[in-house]
């Protein structure tokens, strides 16, 4: 017996109409509540401060758990490293590309490439074997064959491409956060440059000031300031920033800073122009999203609002017709 037949036996038409009306009213109330409720910004900040103090108080216990996880990780890393070396997965150019992708996602430890290669090798085998076992278990149940084949293909696909998709999504989220914080960082760089600080001192100061508001971009700036201090070529340090992040905006910033270093143009004017350009671009993206809102809201209106409207308007008439037909 299909689930549609079971549902039709368990619920009548009146019950289904009542349940649909209740669900529609609930979703409408939640949407209106989220849109019209007043935001208590000060209260939220106070709660965040209290939560931060609680975390500091429990740092000893958290530190113990972290040490336990680190010990577990250190115990499994030799096995992963040995498997990767035996399978000859650490190839030169291929490893460099993987390292750049992991660095873009924020994983720049020396064992990140080893963990990535091990997971990418083991995950297809594990999910493939699990999918085959689940497929064999479903073969004894009255399940549609298309569903069983879909689960089998889904398991193999997740095993083959799941690791790359996860790393790419993590990198995209990190890049998005850095893009949102870049205009503010440029404004601070302009203030530091107009205050007489050099490029190295400006990057160091801004990275320290933005550590709480934008930790991802602050980390990249801190690494760049360190490289500017010990690398013989300053252009190499700036180019490394562009390679680590793989952001068009930071690439244009790096090119502008390189031209400033080469030709001696004023640093504050260059940063001010870039900050205004990036802020205008961010405003254009917000306006673009606002312009897309009517088209995006069309489907939710059709799915949630129109059925409720039809139920309210046509429901009483339909119930009266059903009563008259039952009496006749």
Q: With 70 as the cut, is the pLDDT of residue 274 above it?
A: yes
Q: With 80 as the cut, is the pLDDT of residue 242 above it?
A: yes
Give me Rg for the CA atoms of the chain: 29
DSSP H helices, 145-266, are 145-194, 199-209, 215-230, 234-245, 248-263
> Residue 212 gets which letter from DSSP?
T
Least confident of 66-75, 112-121, 254-263, 291-300: 66-75
Q: How confident is the model at residue 72 (pLDDT cuts 50, 70, 90)?
A: very low
CB atoms within 10 A of CB 227: 17
Least confident of 14-23, 226-235, 243-252: 14-23
Q: With 50 as the cut, is the pLDDT of residue 63 above it?
A: no
**3-state secondary structure at position 93:** helix
Can you spell out the DSSP letters for 30-61?
HHHHHHHSPP-HHHHHHHHHHHHHHHHHTHHH
As a whole number of angstroms, the distance between CA 259 and CA 95 comes to 32
- Give the pLDDT score at 66: 47
- Give the pLDDT score at 9: 60
Domain positions in the chain: 48-86, 180-286
Q: Average pLDDT over the chain, rounded to whole? A: 77
Percent of the chain, pLDDT > 70?
Answer: 76
What 193-202 contacts at long range (C-beta under 8 Å, 24+ apart), as own/partner pairs, is 193/267, 193/268, 193/271, 194/268, 199/228, 199/257, 199/260, 199/261, 199/267, 200/225, 200/228, 200/229, 202/267
| Confidence (pTM) | 0.63
- Give the pLDDT score at 37: 59
As a whole number of angstroms, the distance between CA 318 and CA 16 comes to 14
As a whole number of angstroms, the distance between CA 29 and CA 83 comes to 55
Q: With 70 as the cut, is the pLDDT of residue 98 above it?
A: yes
């Amino acid at each position: 017996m299909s689930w549609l037949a079971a549902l039709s036996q368990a619920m009548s038409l009146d019950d289904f109409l009542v349940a649909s009306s209740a669900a529609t009213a609930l979703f409408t109330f939640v949407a209106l509540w989220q849109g019209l409720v007043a935001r208590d910004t000060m209260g939220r900040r106070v709660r965040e401060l209290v939560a931060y103090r609680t975390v500091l108080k429990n740092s000893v216990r958290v530190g113990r758990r972290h040490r336990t996880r680190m010990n577990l990780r250190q115990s499994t890393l030799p096995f992963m490293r040995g498997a990767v070396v035996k399978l000859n997965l650490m190839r030169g150019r291929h490893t460099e590309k993987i390292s750049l992708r992991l660095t873009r996602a924020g994983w720049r430890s020396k064992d990140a490439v080893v963990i990535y290669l091990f997971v990418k090798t083991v995950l297809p085998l594990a999910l493939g074997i699990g999918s085959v076992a689940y497929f064999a278990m479903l073969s004894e149940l009255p399940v549609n064959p298309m569903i069983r084949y879909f689960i089998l293909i889904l398991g193999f696909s997740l095993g083959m491409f799941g690791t790359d998709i996860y790393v790419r999504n993590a990198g995209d989220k990190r890049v998005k956060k850095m893009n949102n914080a870049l205009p503010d960082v440029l404004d601070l760089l302009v203030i530091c440059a107009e205050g007489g600080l050099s490029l190295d001192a400006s990057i160091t100061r801004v990275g320290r000031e933005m550590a709480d508001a934008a930790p991802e971009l602050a980390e990249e700036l801190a690494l760049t300031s360190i490289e500017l201090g010990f690398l013989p070529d300053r252009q190499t340090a700036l180019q490394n920033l562009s390679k680590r992040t793989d952001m068009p905006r930071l690439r244009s910033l790096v090119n502008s800073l390189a031209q400033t270093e080469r030709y001696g143009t004023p640093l504050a004017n260059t940063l001010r122009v870039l900050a205004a350009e990036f802020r205008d671009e961010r405003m254009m993206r917000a306006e673009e999203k606002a312009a897309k809102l009517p088209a995006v809201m069309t489907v939710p209106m059709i799915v949630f609002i129109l059925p409720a409207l039809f139920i309210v308007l046509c429901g009483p008439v339909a119930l009266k017709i059903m009563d008259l037909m039952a009496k006749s």
